[in-house]
Amino acid sequence: MENPAQPNRRKLYCNRCDGDTNHEEVWMGQRSDNLYSKGDSEEDGPPITEITEFRLWRCIGCEAVLLEQRYGLDIDDEWRYQYHPKPARYSVKAKYFTKLPERLSTIYKEAVICFNSAAWTLCAIGLRALIEGICRENGISGKTIEKKIDGLKKVLPESIVNNLHSLRFMGNQAAHELEPPSGYDLAVALEICEDLLNYLYELDYKTSRLAHWKKQLAQAPDSTASAPAPEE
3-state SS assignment for residue 150: helix
Confidence bin at 9 (pLDDT 50/70/90): very high
Sheet bearing 9-14, strands edge to edge: 9-14, 19-36, 47-59, 65-73, 80-84
Question: What's the pLDDT tens digit per position in 57-111?
Answer: 999 999 999 999 998 887 877 888 989 988 888 888 899 888 899 999 999 999 9
Q: Which region among 124-133, 190-199, 215-224 has the lowest average model confidence (pLDDT)?
A: 215-224
Spatial distance between the Cα atoms of 44 and 88, rounded to a whole number of angstroms: 44
Own/partner contacts of 106-112, CB < 8 Å, gap of 24 or more, are: 107/133, 108/193, 108/194, 108/197, 111/190, 111/193, 112/190
- Which domains, and CATH codes, for the chain? 9-84 (no CATH), 102-218 (1.20.120)
For residue 170, what pLDDT is reported?
63
Spatial distance between the Cα atoms of 68 and 81, rounded to a whole number of angstroms: 7
What mean pLDDT do residues 39-45 have?
58
Confidence bin at 40 (pLDDT 50/70/90): low
Confidence bin at 185 (pLDDT 50/70/90): confident
For residue 89, what pLDDT is reported?
81
| Contact (CB, 8 A) for 154 and 140 | yes
